[in-house]
Amino acid sequence: QVQLVESGGGLVQPGGSLRLSCAASGSIFSIYVMAWYRQAPGKQRNLVASITSGGSTNYANSVKGRFTISRDNAKNTVDLQMSSLKPEDTAVYYCNFRGPANYWGQGTQVTVSS
């Protein structure tokens, strides 16, 4: 059974940086899109960034220029480098792999606060 495991969340001050990582355990193939979503309390889950197997990226307007998504196709991992963090970036961050099936991680909390 495939599981996605996120790591790297935590508490950071405004202006700080965090790096999130997501790795798949179990056999997983033909993942076309890897993505990060986030969900703040009382709000819907929204796309933060995505990257295709060919390396094409897409970012939410609110994070452009501050976040960078990257992936390792051989290892089936995806990272999200977050810089210049703002309090409004506070949310639970979920990784998502899309291919023949759709996989979700359990989420990792990111809190931006002084």
The model's confidence at residue 106, banded by pLDDT at 50, 70 and 90, is very high
Instruction: Please report the pLDDT score of residue 28 as a whole number.
Output: 76
- In the predicted structure, residue 2 carries a pLDDT above the cut 90: no
> Which residues lie below 8 Å from residue 88, measured CB to CB, with a gap of 6+?
40, 62, 112
- In the predicted structure, residue 42 carries a pLDDT above the cut 80: yes
The tens digit of pLDDT for each residue in 46-87 reads 999 999 999 999 999 999 999 999 999 888 899 999 999 999
Mean per-residue pLDDT, 20-33 = 86
Separation CA 39–CA 54 (nearest Å): 27
Instruction: Please report the pLDDT score of residue 100 as a whole number.
Output: 84
Distances (CA, A) of 60 to 20, 24, 50, 57: 17, 24, 9, 10
